[in-house]
Amino acid sequence: MQLTRFEVPIHKISHIFISHLHGDHYLGLTGLLFSMHMQKRKTELHLYSPPGLNEIILLQLKHSKSVLCYDLIFHSFDPTEQKVLVDNNTLTIETIPLVHKLPCAGFLFKEKPKPRRIDKEKLKPNILLQHIAYLKTGNDVLDEQGKILYRNEDFTLAPKPPLSYAYCSDTAWNESMIEQINSVDLLYHEATFMEEEIAKAVETKHSTARQAAQMAKRCGAKKLLIGHFSARYRELEPLLAEATAVFLNTSLAIEGQLVELAS
C-alpha cells in the first residue's frame, strides 16, 4: 500500500531482502506479491530471507488456490554468517549478521568501481559510437596504423566513487559488524527506543537512538538514517536530537522520503 501511495513502480522490483521473520518485516509481502500478479508481471522475482519464508508464502498461496503468473525464486540464507547474496556487473549485496531475538541479518549494498565517464563537452560531433564505448573502458582509441586517435584522458573524466549502503534492522548493539560496514556512505540503523529505555532495548534486543549514532560514529559512516521507532513515541524529534548529539549527519527515516547519496 505504501509503495502504491508513493508511486514506486513495483514492476521494477526484482529482488526483495527480508532481514528476519518478525511480522513487521514481511507481513505486507503477500499483498505485494498479489499486486504484482494483478499487474500481470512476467519477470521472475527473487526473495531472500532466513529459512522459513518460503513455507509461509507457499502456504498462503496453497490455501487461496492461487498460482502466480510469474516465478518466485526463494533464496534462504544463514543469518549468522557474512555471505554474498548477489554479485553482478554493478554491485554486490551481502548479509550482515545482527543481534536479535530471532535469527536476523542486515544487508550491505556495495557498488563496484565504475567506468570512466565521457566528458561530453570535449566529444567531437563526428566520433563513432564504438569509439565512445571503447573510451569508457579506459583505453586510448587507436587508428589502423596503431596511432592514437583519441587519448583517453583527453575525453574522459575520473569515475564517480562507488557508493555503499548498510541496512541494519533489527539489532541490539552489535560490535561485530563495525569492520564489515566500515566507511559506509549511508547507514540505516534501527532506533526503536530512546536511551532512557535502555533496559527495554537490551531485553528486546533492539537499539536506542544514541546507540545507532554511536555505531555510525564507530564505523565511520558518512550519513545515518534512523528508523523502526517504537509506537510509544508520538514525536520523533527527541529521537533525532538524541542521535545528532552523537552523530551530526543523522536523519529520521520517514516513509516516502527520497534519500540521495552524494556521488
Q: List the Cα angle 51/55/58 in 5-degree steps.
A: 140
> For residue 29, what is the enclosing H or E element?
helix 29-38
Q: Which residue is nearest to Zn ion (CB)?
A: 22
Q: Which of 24, 87, 119, 154 is flagged as catalytic?
A: 24
- Beta pairing, strands 164-168 & 105-111: antiparallel
Question: What minimum distance in Å lies between the beta carbon of 249 and Zn ion?
Answer: 24
Of 162, 123, 160, 115, the closest CA to residue 139 belongs to 115
Among 36, 53, 116, 170, binds Zn ion (CB under 5 A): 170
**Size of interface with Zn ion, in residues (CB under 5 A):** 3
Question: What minimum distance in Å lies between the beta carbon of 209 and Zn ion?
Answer: 15
Question: What minimum distance in Å lies between the beta carbon of 193 and Zn ion?
Answer: 12
Q: List the Cα angle 55/3/249 in 5-degree steps.
A: 105
Nearer to Zn ion, 72 or 102 (CB): 102
94 binds Zn ion (CB under 5 A): no
24 binds Zn ion (CB under 5 A): yes
168 binds Zn ion (CB under 5 A): no
Stretch that binds Zn ion, among 121-129, 147-155, 165-173, 179-187 (CB under 5 A): 165-173
Could you tell me if 69 and 37 are in contact, meaning their C-beta atoms sit under 8 angstroms apart?
yes
Question: What minimum distance in Å lies between the beta carbon of 38 and Zn ion?
Answer: 28
Pairwise CA distance, residues 33 & 257, whole Å = 23
Pairwise CA distance, residues 161 & 99, whole Å = 31
Stretch that binds Zn ion, among 2-10, 21-29, 31-39, 146-154 (CB under 5 A): 21-29
22 binds Zn ion (CB under 5 A): yes
3-class DSSP string for 99-118: CCCCCCEEEEEEECCCCCEE
200 binds Zn ion (CB under 5 A): no
Question: What minimum distance in Å lies between the beta carbon of 188 and Zn ion?
Answer: 13
Stretch that binds Zn ion, among 16-24, 30-38, 127-135, 149-157 (CB under 5 A): 16-24
24 flagged as catalytic: yes
Nearer to Zn ion, 156 or 171 (CB): 171
Nearer to Zn ion, 24 or 87 (CB): 24
Strands (E), the chain: 15-17, 45-49, 72-76, 84-87, 91-97, 105-111, 117-118, 141-142, 148-150, 156-157, 164-168, 186-190, 223-227, 250-252
Write out the residues near Zn ion by the rule CB under 5 A.
22, 24, 170
| Catalytic center residues | 24
